[in-house]
Structure 1
Amino acid sequence: MAANFAARIIAQLIFSIAFLASATAADRPFDRDWRTGVPSAPGAETWTDKNPTAKQALMAQVAEAQGGRICTHYAFLHWPANTETSEAIQAQTKRNYEAAGYTITAGTGDIPADKTLWIAHNADREAVILWGAEAGSPAYMSCPTQGAPAADPDRWVFLIGLFGFGLAGAVIGGWLVQRTRALGKASLTWPSAQGRVTSAVVDSYRTKGGRQYIASIAYSYDVDGKAFAGNRIRFGNYAGAKEKADADVARFASGTPVDVFYNPLKPEAATLEPGTSGHSVAGLVVAITGAILVVVGLIVAFIN
């Protein structure tokens, strides 16, 4: 069915994007501060929780306490409790910053006793870095306070993936829509064969817009003594109101003799109603999904 086919296409697109993202993460498992671009100690993970704004607010307060500095971007990392000690992680990260041309100085202000504050700066960039702990794990928060955030070396890999899959979806979707129209037009000249409906049921599935219904009709027919089976009612068939699906099932009830219009060059391609009615659902869904990915790619491309 068109809806199932569309779902499979979308699932494949999502899987491909997820695979691309996971492959990138495997090459660089968040082992650097993506705002300063400096490698951190090995084993770092993205520090996420249900209230990221609280961390941002804390960083803004810490930066403000360092002479009116302003945070505009943030990076949050943490290390699992079974990795190195906090002292070893900080020492390794400091060496990495110094190797990248940064000078590390201690921050000032009203900082809790269980936290360590750094000011990291070089000729182009300055960042406030706050060390602490989260559920026993070393945690790291940073924000650039001078200079632009570092460019993400994997940014273009991600963008190329978005644009690639988006354009592919738009092209494939457009091709499916055009193909449905072309086949529907061609079917007006196809010969017909006597057939019989073997099953007729109403299928339904739930979407965000509510439950959708579609008639699932199966039929058999013979061409030149060879048996064939089909399930297409019309080109451009789409799910929708239950009344329409019920009407199709009533019209093509199981056991009903029907005229089956088939492609003389490919008899297995057939329809009960020649011509085109509506559009290819699969094509539209794939094309729209592709367009959305392209738009997301454009938005990400212009976000720091």
Structure 2
Amino acid sequence: MQQNHSVTEFILLGLTQDATTQKMVFVIFFIFYVGTVVGNLLITVTIKSSRTLGSPMYYFLFYLSLADSCFSTSTAPRLIVDSLSAKRIISYNECMTQVFALHFFGCMEIFVLILMAVDRYVAICKPLRYPTIMSQQVCTILIGLAWMGSFIHSIAEVILALRLPFCGPNLIDHYCCDLQPLLKLACMDTYMISLLLVTNSGAICTSSLVILMISYIVILHSLRNHSAEGRKKALSTCTSHIIVVILFFGPCIFIYTRPPTTFPVDKLVTVFYTIGTPFLNPFIYTLRNAEVKNAMRKLWRIKIASESKR
């Protein structure tokens, strides 16, 4: 791969330069990351092992948990390690790989959230046709399209990053590699690339949020014709989805839909949606979902019973 720059590595400034605060960053985000991986792994294992969680909603939740784990892994481990390192060096190729992973799994999460909203719309508004419309084959095709769309988006982001020439300095005022902080280091006019970034990432975030909000408005409107028990169950599920959508899309839109201007709060906002939201998702979906909690209890009882027989 031909590189049009003289910089072969970058130095990440991280969240803070204070030694005491760096130790706090290590402890806090180590706990967050372990909680994210364990929580999402527990959901994926439960869904795969349980016969009662075979509906499309849990099929999509499996991939959301998978995307959450990978999305957090694209940034959290380096942040944790760098918080104890004197020099936070990342090579050019590692930086481009992180850009790809960050956008691939972030976009995958967006598409899966849309698929979950579509699933709820069909289940609530078209209940008689639900088994036909959301068949296993259709769900598999939809997830395949989500993977493909995420790949195309992330490749586009990496291509934009590869077009940036870096002549120095090589200090990235962030804890991870992304296009916004990289644009500040490029020794060229970045207006067009900034515009393409907003068109690509910004348009995906904004249009997806609009689609999701419209779908949930339609769903909530249609609940008027359901029984009180049906409304309660549907509202519980939809509320969980809406909370996740707000927590994820709010920071994303703040970061990717504005001109190429960076603010001190950008790093904290990025932390929230790349590490905070994947950590909260398992709690949101399990604490508000009786079926998942019951399946987890059953799985643990079977595990404990099998261990006691040995």
Max Rg structure? 1
Identify, as 1 or 2, the structure richer in helix: 2
Please give the range of the TM-score, normalised by the shorter of the 2 chains.
under 0.3
TM-score norm. by structure 1 comes to 0.25
TM-score norm. by structure 2 comes to 0.25
Higher relative contact order (CA 8 A, sep 6+): 2
